Every structure is written in structure tokens, then in C-alpha cells.
Amino acid sequence: GAVVSQHPSRVICKSGTSVKIECRSLDFQATTMFWYRQFPKQSLMLMATSNEGSKATYEQGVEKDKFLINHASLTLSTLTVTSAHPEDSSFYICSARGRLAGGSAGSTDTQYFGPGTRLTVL
């Protein structure tokens, strides 16, 4: 079945550095990517939605200059946490929506989720 991968799975960085998280769709072309984060003991919350080749749409309260999202191709989206601080420590997960390769003309889009990336900022 379709797979979405994230890299790295875990990252520890110093405060003030930038961290890039990659999200790849392996068996299909992802026309839309979603980025979520989950703080400890809190619900998974949507950060932004990005369509291939266009700027991401950020949810209210998410700083677009701090969380840079690039969706340059149909199989790759990246989330860069710039000038990370300890309060950015969280679990980040992406999901990709698209149509499976070889699908019929009438097939509908399906969404698949990555395994997540645990970011710890010291």
C-alpha cells in the first residue's frame, strides 16, 4: 500500500538552530500535504496545508516565518523549524493526500499519514 515516510524520526538540537523535517510520499503523487504537531498530553493539531507548487496555508496562531513549509514536488514536502526554542519541542507529523499510481480515472484521493518526527530542543 501507499506509504508516507518522514525523516528524521527523532532529532535533538540546540536552541537557536534550524531543523528540517522531510515528508515523502513513496507510491503516489501527493497533491496536498498536511503538517500537524502534538505537544505532550495534547491533541494533534493542524499547522498548515500545502498544495504542490503553491504557498502553504497556515492555521491561526502558527507563525509562517518560523515554520517554513516547502512543497516543491509531488512527492516531497519539508517543514523547517527556524531558530528553534525549547517550546517548539513537539511531535510533528505529516500526511499526504493524492491518487495512487495506476488508479482509475474515477478513483478518489486518499490520505496517508507519516510516522512522525519527535523534535527536542535543548
Partner 1 sequence: KQEVTQIPAALSVPEGENLVLNCSFTDSAIYNLQWFRQDPGKGLTSLLLIQSSQREQTSGRLNASLDKSSGRSTLYIAASQPGDSATYLCAVRGNQFYFGTGTSLTVIP
Q: Under the rule (CB under 8 A), what is the footprint of partner 1? A: 9, 34, 36, 38, 41-46, 49, 91, 93, 95, 111, 113-116
Question: In sequence order, what are the beta bridge partners of 80?
Answer: 20, 68
- Residue closer to partner 1 (CB basis): 14 or 41: 41
Give the shortest CB-115-to-partner 1 separation in angstroms: 4
Number of Cβ within a 10 Å radius of residue 74: 16
- Residue closer to partner 1 (CB basis): 19 or 116: 116
- Residue closer to partner 1 (CB basis): 103 or 115: 115
Give the shortest CB-16-to-partner 1 separation in angstroms: 27
Give the shortest CB-73-to-partner 1 separation in angstroms: 20
E strands in the chain: 4-7, 10-13, 19-25, 28-38, 45-51, 57-58, 67-73, 76-81, 90-100, 110-113, 117-121
Give the shortest CB-43-to-partner 1 separation in angstroms: 4
Could you tell me the three cell numbers for 107?
Answer: 478513483
User: What is d(CA 20, CA 22) in angstroms, rounded to the nearest whole number?
Assistant: 7
